[in-house]
């Protein structure tokens, strides 16, 4: 077994799908190396220390039981428990688990290569994020296992010209099948739909709190997604859905307002402000500022009113489209 999992780690371990595959099959590199599909095996028993896996994990319990922590929330997995774990989620199993089941593990890179209809699939991912485990019926379980078996057969077959495309389409079909299963679940449990809305709103508020702390140093969508343990695409869709603004627009709002404040009131030079806001140089800062305000930093600094020059305002940030 990989030494990362043999002893208690000093920090949370991070695994790529390739490393996970190597632990399972160290004798050779399997084909393909972007997906694992297995039927009726124990997959989570080794994850007894907290870790992150840069992959999307989909599983269905077939027998036994285990306790699983996903981002510090505790769940019980048993027969007919459908579980979905997003990339970079912190996961850990408790010792003594006996769960066996069917699993699919897909690398984030492979998911990015898929021709996914974001308008259809992202709302589904939001719902799945609010329900990482679902108790489904015997019939639903049997139907879903058929999809997983098809993927397993394809991944174990000899690689051919269209193998990756076939696996990708099977995976997407499996996601849509899960989407139907989730809709049936929500129809039986209408109270759960409100949990989805509350969860989306919570993510948005957490994003704004993180942004208020890190906007001077971090301007990438990926950073905030990692801090929230969700994918950049998930964060982008969620923020746009709730606020009608993109993640990048929110970042620009905070950076530009801080820049305007410093230009008007701090007495700092444009170069000093550029370094304070973590721009590589004054020229880069000037281009960024002018693109967002229509004025150069020097022009804005010399203007008469703090509100001149276009740009963004935080007025009304409490009036975003709440999902509550």
Sequential pLDDT tens for the chain (324 residues): 444 444 444 456 777 777 766 665 545 444 566 788 777 766 565 677 777 788 888 899 999 999 988 876 789 999 999 998 877 777 888 888 889 999 998 887 887 777 665 545 655 665 666 678 889 999 999 999 999 999 999 888 788 888 888 998 999 899 889 888 888 887 787 766 556 556 777 788 889 889 888 988 899 999 999 999 888 888 988 888 777 788 999 999 889 988 888 888 778 899 999 999 999 999 999 999 999 989 999 998 887 544 444 444 443 344 444 443
CA angle 132, 133, 135 (to 5 degrees): 155
Q: How high is the pLDDT of residue 5? A: 46
Q: How high is the pLDDT of residue 23? A: 60
What the block records as the tokens of 287 is 């281009």
Does pTM surpass 0.85? no
Q: How high is the pLDDT of residue 139? A: 94
**Cβ count near 308 (within 10 Å):** 15
Q: How high is the pLDDT of residue 197? A: 59
C-alpha pair distances (Å), 241 with each of 123, 180, 187, 275, 311: 9, 22, 22, 33, 22
User: Angle of helix 221-228 relative to helix 247-265, nearest 10 degrees?
Assistant: 110
Q: How high is the pLDDT of residue 170? A: 92
Q: How high is the pLDDT of residue 224? A: 93
Q: How high is the pLDDT of residue 251? A: 92
* Residue found under tokens 């999992």: 5
Sign, CA dihedral 246-251-253-254, equals positive
Q: How high is the pLDDT of residue 148? A: 92
Q: How high is the pLDDT of residue 245? A: 81
């Amino acid at each position: 077994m990989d030494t990362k999992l043999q002893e208690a780690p000093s920090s949370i371990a991070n695994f790529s799908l390739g490393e996970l595959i190597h632990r399972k099959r160290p004798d050779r590199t399997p084909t393909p190396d972007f997906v694992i599909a297995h039927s009726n095996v124990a997959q989570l028993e080794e994850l007894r220390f907290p870790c992150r896996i840069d992959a999307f994990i989909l599983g269905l319990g077939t027998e036994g039981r285990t306790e699983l922590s996903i981002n510090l929330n505790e769940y019980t997995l048993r027969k007919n428990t459908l579980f979905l774990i997003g990339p970079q989620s912190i996961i850990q199993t408790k010792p003594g688990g006996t769960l066996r089941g069917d699993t699919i593990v897909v690398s984030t890179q492979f998911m990015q290569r898929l021709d996914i209809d974001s308008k259809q699939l992202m709302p589904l991912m939001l719902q799945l994020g609010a329900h990482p485990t679902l108790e489904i019926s015997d019939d639903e379980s049997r139907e879903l296992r058929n999809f997983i078996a098809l993927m397993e057969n394809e991944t174990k077959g000899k690689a051919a010209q269209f193998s990756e495309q076939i696996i990708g389409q099977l995976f997407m079909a499996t996601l849509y099948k899960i989407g139907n299963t989730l809709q049936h679940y929500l129809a039986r449990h209408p109270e759960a739909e409100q949990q989805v809305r509350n969860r989306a709103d919570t993510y948005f508020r957490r994003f704004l709190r993180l942004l208020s702390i890190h906007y001077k140093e971090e301007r990438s969508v990926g950073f905030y997604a990692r801090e929230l343990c969700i994918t950049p695409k998930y964060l982008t869709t969620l923020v746009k859905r709730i606020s009608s603004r993109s993640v990048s627009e929110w970042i620009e709002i905070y950076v530009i307002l801080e820049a305007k404040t410093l230009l008007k009131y701090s007495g700092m030079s444009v170069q000093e402000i550029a370094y304070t806001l973590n721009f590589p140089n004054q020229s880069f800062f000037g281009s960024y500022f002018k693109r967002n305000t229509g004025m150069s930093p020097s022009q804005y600094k010399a203007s008469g009113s703090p509100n001149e020059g276009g740009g963004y305002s935080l007025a009304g940030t409490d009036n975003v489209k709440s999902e509550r």
